[in-house]
Structure 1
Amino acid sequence: MLDIAQELSQWLEEGRAFAVATVVGVSGSAPRGLGAALAVDRDGNAVGSVSGGCVEGAVYDLCTQALEGDGRSVVERFGYSDEDAFAVGLTCGGIVDILVTPVTADAQVLTVLRSALGDAARNGSAALTRVIRGPAELLGKSLLVRPDGAYEGSHGDDHATLDGTVAAEARALLEVGRTDTVEISEDGSHCPGGLTLLVEVNMPPPCMIVFGAIDFAAALVRVGKFLGYHVTVCDARPVFATRARFPDADDIVVDWPHRYLSRTETDGRTVLCVLTHDAKFDVPLLHEALRMPVAYVGAMGSRRTHADRERRLREAGVGERELARLRSPIGLDLGARTPEETALSIAAEIIAARHGGTGIPLTGAQMPIHRAAGELAVLRAVLGAA
């Protein structure tokens, strides 16, 4: 639901009543993941999507029915129909569970959702928990949990222990920036039991830092923004690092790349793209970058440039394990020629690295299109051994 926070925050400000349908369970091949949402107001206006089209009409109807109901949340399952592939269902073969929650002026979840949507609309860090399986009186109950462990909301007067346990589980997922489901006991113990919760995490946008204010960088900035990154361009040459050349960048920094990176906060979602292919910039920068716990480090250059760069980095004391993290030459082999095509190849490699993709064509491949983390680890091991 937090993926449509901007629109829903506006609806709340306008006093609209609406129902929101959220993907709370996915099995097999399904087009949208946990937390994807569709909302419908009393006038029939809709925002968001839960399936990319497969079951949108049926979920839309569920939302309109929820607005006329008793205010309770409900969970419905949608899957593929072998008898009639054109019936309401997921023709891709997957199964999704949808939580439908009415949000009206007297809804118990209104205060928590207002805070959660407001935080998400401002790109704040917070986790929204909702009961998606359990006793009817708890279904849909919510907490908003912040990074320091403080929380808003309650599961009821008799569930103080449950509130604390849910907040702790949500905080753990918030620390790693992952939306997921959690199973706990109704009495508040951490053991799997009678309750399942969706913990929907919202984090500020991840950072992409592009080093080297060249024409390829301008195209990569545009792609990075499209993918939802906060994009910074850094170059030591003020004549190139200008707003006129990079109107789409969030920040433009004129400084030596390694010096800027050393004082910049990064995290496990940060991607670093080194496009300067100039040893005096690249070597000290990569010496710093390859020792940081970031998601991706890529460097542009020919194979000859890469070999020379690796030699210089070894001489500078960079170890083999650190060098193995370097994606160079940067990008996937798409046959790219133009700056835009090259930016696309870099973005494709970043996405593959983030989600554990192989980068091979799906046509003719036998592996599932949507895979869990454990399946990805096995697949990478098999392909690595092949």
Structure 2
Amino acid sequence: MGAPRPHEALAVLRALEDLASADPFNVRGVLATLLTLDGALCARSGAAVLFCDEAAAGVEGARSLGTLPEALKAEVEKAVASSACSLAEFDLDEDEALFGPGGLAGKAGVWLEPVTGELRESLRSAREALLRGEGLVAELSLTGEEAGRRRHFPSDHPAVKSCYGEGAPELEEEAGRDGVRRIFRLPLIPMGKAILLGSGEDVRRLAELLDRLGFAVTVADHRPGRLHGPGWDRARWRLIEGGWDAARAEARPDADTYVAVMTHSHSADGRALKGALQSPARYVGLVGPVGRAAKLLSELKEKGIEPRPGVFSAPAGLEVGAQTPEETALAVAAEVLALRFGRRGGRPARLRPAGSSPAQRKGGVKVPGLVLAAGRGRRFGANPKLLADIDGQPVLRHVVEAALASRLDPVIVVLGSSAEAGLRALEGLEDPRLRVVFNPSWKSGKASSFEVGLREAPMDAPGVVALLGDMPRVKPWLIERVLAEFELSGRLCFPTVPGAEGPVKGHPTAYPRELFGEVRQLVGDDTAMAAARRHWSEAVKVPLEDSSTQADIDTAQDLELLKVQPEQGRLL
């Protein structure tokens, strides 16, 4: 169970500021926070909404009292009249989207805080901290001596460090002098920083989207006067007349920074990429033609600058067929959001890829990855297909780098027939999670490689995620999606792609520990498909719109076909 999205909290804070602007009419308001549903924390615990009287009905993000269920309306009016915080309980209907998109039903426990100058100032400070990239935890005292008190703690404060580290709200009870004290804590985790290089309409649209999602936005362009005029929001974005160095000095990129290079100038893009790729940024996207991206990367490689695995995206953005500035901005924002939350769409995930902030990572047992690369590849020809070049790298290296860009730990590569070629393909990879093992029985098929890999898996691993070494288009977001669904369900999990007769199983595949014994009994190359057939009904499927991540290489013709197929928004 994760906390509400960071931008939801920011939206409430903006609504409070707008409400303050309407205060000449002495507008009354109450901040309502959903705590529990049927007495327990739920998926939307911590979601907040501003309730106000009719005089502020036009405030974006606020709801007028007249639209509330009668039971809740009475409680809100009572809180306003008394100017005191209170806990309200009422029956929430699943069609009533008070605290999000709806779908919640039951006895709701809601904390009501009358809007005061003190509350506004407290939340304004929280908003500024989030936009500086500083995480914090809101603590609400529900009962006891300090009932009604709201406090905000920095993320590393001993009292809230565990809550922030889990990235989920918590409801605690503590014994006090006057009885049991109930406390609700809500982690407020910043979205991160966004640095946009350029000044076109696509940049402005992207700045708007990322700002609304809660990112701290910096826009920089070295060309004088480009960031002046209507549409450039100096009140909410940091606008800089300068290139990467100026943007870096102001924004101070870190591991939770997302960079989009969009100057549409070869030389300016090159300078920006050079700096961005040497920064600790989590994501660097380049908007523009594939040919220019390849040329820029080649030029940077000559200077000894290469992207870290899973960081660089070109052309930037998820594949939505973008052509207009608005569509380009939407595609890039979607890719950034997917990487920020460790998956491509789906319900919110508390877990993120390796390298993410501790607040978004879940402590405890890790899930290993198995890269099966022991087969002979007879149909490919005389040369080892593991070393076959695609996009300037060996086939196997693409797969392993994608696995290392995810949270899989360790990443176990099983070699066999072409072991020497496999080792050459992995030269230079120094990630401590990487382990390479040899399967002497590789001739008997993938099942034997699976068995060898399982011997290297930690004894307490709840399962493994298996990948095929000849699928160079597999992406970190897909691995993360399968991993996240496995962590949520504990069941067999795999992607599916559309087929002539219905969904077809894809890769990678997450196997729970309880299936290890069954898989060990399989023979030949039938491991994944046999398990899928036996457990299709209870397996968790991740539906994909197309098979672009599923291309494997069996023959030299497969390789040549893959080289000429266009691929949008790919993480290199």
Fold match, TM over 0.5?
A: yes
Q: Aligned to 1:298, what secondary structure does the other structure show?
A: strand
Structure 1, gaps ≥5 residues long:
105-109, 150-166, 360-367
CA distance in 2, matches of 1:278, 1:91: 42
CA distance in 2, matches of 1:17, 1:215: 39
Q: Aligned to 1:305, what secondary structure does the other structure show?
A: helix
CA distance in 2, matches of 1:9, 1:334: 40
CA distance in 2, matches of 1:244, 1:211: 17
After superposition, residues 180-329 of structure 1 pair within 5 angstroms as: 180-184=168-172, 186=174, 195-199=182-186, 201=188, 207-238=193-224, 241-244=226-229, 247-248=232-233, 250-258=237-245, 260-261=247-248, 264-319=251-306, 322-329=308-315
Q: Aligned to 1:199, what secondary structure does the other structure show?
A: strand
CA distance in 2, matches of 1:336, 1:358: 17
C-alpha change, 1:76 and 1:355, in structure 2 (3 Å) is farther
Corresponding residue number in structure 2 for 1:131: 141
Is 1:378–2:484 an aligned residue pair?
yes
Corresponding residue number in structure 2 for 1:145: 152
Per-residue deviation, 1:273: 0.8
Per-residue deviation, 1:385: 1.0
CA distance in 2, matches of 1:24, 1:325: 37
Contact map agreement 2:138 2:150 (CA 8 A) in 1: yes
Given the two structures, how large is their TM-score scaled by the length of structure 2? 0.47
Per-residue deviation, 1:180: 4.1
Contact map agreement 1:79 1:93 (CA 8 A) in 2: no
Is 1:34–2:46 an aligned residue pair?
yes
Corresponding residue number in structure 2 for 1:99: 110
CA distance in 1, matches of 2:22, 2:154: 26
Corresponding residue number in structure 1 for 2:75: 62
Task: Report the more deviating stretch, 19-28 or 210-219.
Answer: 19-28
Contact map agreement 2:92 2:105 (CA 8 A) in 1: yes
Corresponding residue number in structure 2 for 1:355: 341
Per-residue deviation, 1:127: 4.6
1:238 aligned partner, one-letter code: P
Structure 2, gaps ≥5 residues long:
1-8, 352-361, 363-479, 487-492, 496-506, 510-572
Per-residue deviation, 1:22: 1.0
C-alpha change, 1:95 and 1:357, in structure 2 (3 Å) is farther
Corresponding residue number in structure 1 for 2:319: 333
C-alpha change, 1:89 and 1:71, in structure 2 (3 Å) is closer
CA distance in 2, matches of 1:199, 1:89: 15
From the CA coordinates, give the structure whose radius of gyration is larger: 2
CA distance in 1, matches of 2:90, 2:255: 34
Corresponding residue number in structure 2 for 1:116: 122
1:282 aligned partner, one-letter code: D
What are the Cα deviations for residues 284-308 of structure 1, in whole angstroms up to 9, with x where unaligned? 4334323434343211122233333
C-alpha change, 1:285 and 1:128, in structure 2 (3 Å) is same
Per-residue deviation, 1:328: 1.6
CA distance in 1, matches of 2:187, 2:262: 35
Q: Aligned to 2:174, what secondary structure does the other structure show?
A: coil
C-alpha change, 1:346 and 1:102, in structure 2 (3 Å) is closer
Contact map agreement 2:85 2:114 (CA 8 A) in 1: no
Corresponding residue number in structure 2 for 1:159: none
Q: Aligned to 1:271, what secondary structure does the other structure show?
A: strand
RMSD over aligned CA atoms reads 4.8
What are the Cα deviations for residues 1-55 of structure 1, in whole angstroms up to 9, with x where unaligned? 753431565688987665432123479997x6624223245x78666469xx997
